Amino acid sequence: MKIWISIAAMLMATDATAQTVILSGGYFRDIKRFSGDPEMNVLNTDANGLQLGVGTLVVPRVLVTLEFGRSEETSVSRTTSISYLGQPVDIRTLYANRLTTWSALFGLRTAATQRIQLTYLGGVAFFHVSRRITSESQAVFLPSPPPPTSSFTVDNVAGPTVGIDAGIKATDHFAIVFAMRVQALRISADLAGISMRPGVEAQFSF
């Protein structure tokens, strides 16, 4: 919370007559990879997502920006076969997860060259990780099988994030930006991962 207040204060402290406000929004692909056996890790999924951002130039080529990103829920299914009363029974387990992020970033822009401008970014990301596990079995397992069981877990953690934007200027106040964000997070002592988010967004400045 303190870092958000500090950046908001910096945005407000900039001379309003000289301040350039930057608004952006677009699509990204969330590529999530976590520690452990890649064949068994049920969190290793890809998802579509949307991102919004607001920032300002504090000096001509240095900016601060706040970003919000939310990807869709993705799921992986695993089936385990057991024997019950001499009959094979399949127990199906569905592992679903979703990643939501809030990021505070500082950026350094290169000089614009032929309408293309690069921005290098770094900062901290705050992750809201939701995980849901649902298990169900075939009717043969019991005469009156129980309904599917489900558990839900939420983790709120912070981690470093870096990125690069390649902006193609269309007009004085509008650009198409190809973006990349790489974010690291640790959910527990034995579970860490990264989120890679290539994307494209529309950027407005005024």
Per-residue pLDDT tens digits for 144-200: 555 677 899 999 999 999 999 999 999 989 999 999 999 999 998 889 999 999 999
Please check whether residue 53 is in contact with residue 66, taking contact to mean a CB–CB distance below 8 angstroms. Answer: yes
Domain count within the chain: 1
CA distances from 168 to 9, 26, 67, 119 (A): 30, 15, 20, 12
State the amino acid at position 92 in one-letter form: R
**SS3 at position 125:** strand
Nearest residue to 169 (alpha-carbon basis) of 111, 98, 108, 124: 111
- H-state helical runs in the chain: 2-13
d(CA 27, CA 157): 23
Question: Is 89 a residue whose pLDDT tops 80?
Answer: no
CATH number for the domain including 73?
2.40.160.20
Number of CB atoms found within 10 A of residue 199's CB: 21
The two three-digit tokens of residue 66, written as one number: 């706040």
Task: Please report the pLDDT score of residue 17 as a whole number.
Answer: 39
Taking the C-alpha atoms of residue 11 and residue 130, their distance in angstroms, rounded to an integer, is 31
State the pTM of this model. 0.82
E-state strands within 85-173:
87-109, 116-137, 149-171
Dist CA 121 CA 63 (whole Å): 9
Report the distance separating Cα 99 and Cα 9, nearest Å.
Answer: 28
* Domain, as residue range, for 41: 2-205
Instruction: Please tell me which residue, 17 or 145, carries the higher pLDDT value.
Output: 145
Higher pLDDT, 196 or 111: 196
Q: What is the pLDDT of residue 83?
A: 72
- Helix, strand, or coil (residue 201): strand
